[in-house]
């Protein structure tokens, strides 16, 4: 066979693998996956690799010391490895049926709860917070993995109300929320606590919780924030920096300097100077690095991708008749969108510092894998078969 014949055969094989008529696992996956959502995810991951490439020299310079020197591309190389691992996790989880994805999340919630308790007793300490499990080659933050698992578990509990109104599933899920919030505050991790509470409120509201009850919970949360402001020095310091400009505001000033230096179109890839003054250029403040090197227009593009992601999920789920799939998908999308919003607002000095990464863009190990796990669950819950939507076989497939 000549080279032209071989190339035609290869093309036919690839086309066949992704054909709607193909009934293999890969063929079914491609014909049922939300390809628009998948493209948005791929675009964000691509933006993340470019952003880490821009931030890597600054991070390496800042973290290098007398005893150890980081290569300028050290964090980029690590990020590429995490991307390969994360995308593999996302793809593998997205192959699951909704029933198996739910079982994975229920089991994962239990083990993550145990990990949260373990962290408080023997976890690794950093910057006054006890949030990590040290595995020597990397550190894992259990709360990152807990978020998507808990969201799916909450969706399952709240969905049971639609089958039997007498079941106290709303109260049970709220009790779990209180337990988790207590464990996270103990670390302390107020940012993750606030994020999980906000996502739970959105899910509870979509499940039919009274606005009065939601308002009461929000009021209690604000009261708790006030108490924390008066009693916890760390919270007092961050709020004073944000509201009154009291204390060390150098960190956020450096972030804003990056946006000023970049302007609309940016200084150009690798041409940023202000990024070398940022404390966490590759993680918490990578959005500022994007602003300096690629400009405010690039920042708006990334913000638009996050908005498109959330809007796509909500619009897709509008006609979903299964309450569990509806609550799970919208909850996961809400978590993704809120986390991105919080990070971007912190970089723009529109919110006190939270220590939260920018989803799929910030350099990260366990946080990136956890995000991909959540996205894999979301892709599994949003899979649709356009030919069998009204068929009883769809219910059989969903039931596993």
3-state secondary structure of 28: helix
Q: Which residues contact 287 (CB under 8 A, 6 or more apart)?
A: 299, 302, 343, 344, 347, 358, 361
HSE on the CB side for 75, CA within 13 Å? 28
pLDDT at 392 exceeding the cut of 60: no
pLDDT for 126 equals 58
pLDDT for 125 equals 60
CA dihedral 22, 26, 31, 37 (to 10 degrees): -170
Return the residue matching tokens 């990136």: 368
pLDDT at 8 exceeding the cut of 60: no
Q: Residue ranges of the domains in the chain? A: 30-398
- Quick: pLDDT tens for 32-88: 899 999 999 999 999 999 999 999 999 988 887 767 788 889 999 999 999 999 999
Which pTM was predicted? 0.87
- Residue 309: CB atoms within 10 A of its CB come to 24
Return the residue matching tokens 């049970």: 172
- Quick: pLDDT tens for 266-303: 898 888 889 888 888 888 899 999 999 999 999 999 99
Residue 134, φ and ψ in degrees, nearest 5:
-85, 120
- Pick the more confident residue, 381 or 384: 381
Q: How far apart are CA 49 and CA 73, in angstroms?
A: 12
What's the angle, vertex CA 281, arms to CA 279 and CA 284, rounded to 5? 85
* Separation of CA 170 from chain center: 25
Q: How far apart are CA 400 and CA 273, in angstroms?
A: 54
């Amino acid at each position: 066979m000549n080279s032209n014949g071989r190339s035609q055969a290869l093309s036919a094989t690839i086309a066949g693998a992704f054909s709607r008529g193909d009934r293999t696992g890969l063929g079914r996956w491609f014909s049922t996956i939300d390809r628009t959502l998948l493209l948005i995810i791929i675009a964000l991951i691509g933006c993340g690799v470019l952003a880490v490439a821009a931030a890597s020299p600054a991070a390496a310079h800042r973290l290098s010391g007398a005893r150890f020197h980081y290569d300028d591309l050290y964090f980029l190389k690590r990020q590429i490895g995490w991307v390969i691992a994360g995308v593999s996790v996302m793809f593998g989880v997205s192959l699951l049926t909704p029933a198996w994805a739910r079982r994975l999340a229920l089991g994962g919630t239990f083990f993550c709860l145990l990990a949260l308790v373990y962290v408080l007793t023997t976890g690794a300490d950093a910057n006054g917070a006890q949030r990590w499990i040290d595995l020597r080659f990397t550190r894992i933050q259990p709360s990152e993995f807990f978020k998507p698992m808990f969201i799916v578990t909450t969706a399952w509990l709240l969905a049971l109300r639609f089958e039997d109104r007498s079941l106290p599933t709303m109260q049970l899920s709220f009790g779990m929320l209180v337990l988790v919030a207590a464990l996270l505050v103990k670390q302390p991790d107020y940012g993750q606590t606030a994020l999980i509470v906000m996502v739970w409120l959105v899910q509870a509201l979509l499940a039919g919780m009274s606005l009065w009850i939601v308002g009461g919970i929000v009021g209690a949360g604000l009261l708790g924030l006030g108490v924390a402001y008066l009693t916890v020095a760390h919270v007092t310091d961050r709020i004073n920096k944000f509201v009154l400009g009291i204390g060390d505001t150098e960190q956020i000033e450096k972030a804003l300097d990056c946006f000023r230096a970049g302007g609309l179109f940016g200084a150009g890839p690798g041409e940023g100077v202000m990024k070398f003054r940022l404390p966490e250029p590759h993680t918490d403040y990578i959005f500022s690095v994007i602003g300096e090197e690629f400009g405010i227009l690039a920042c708006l593009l990334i913000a638009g991708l996050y908005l498109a992601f959330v809007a796509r999920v909500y619009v897709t789920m509008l006609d979903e008749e299964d309450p569990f799939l509806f609550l799970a998908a919208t909850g996961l999308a809400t978590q993704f969108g809120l986390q991105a919003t919080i990070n971007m607002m912190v970089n723009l000095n529109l919110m006190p510092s939270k220590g939260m990464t920018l989803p799929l863009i910030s350099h990260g190990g366990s946080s990136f894998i956890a995000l991909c796990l959540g996205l894999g669950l979301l892709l599994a819950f949003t899979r649709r078969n356009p030919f069998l939507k009204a068929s009883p076989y769809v219910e059989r497939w969903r039931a596993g």
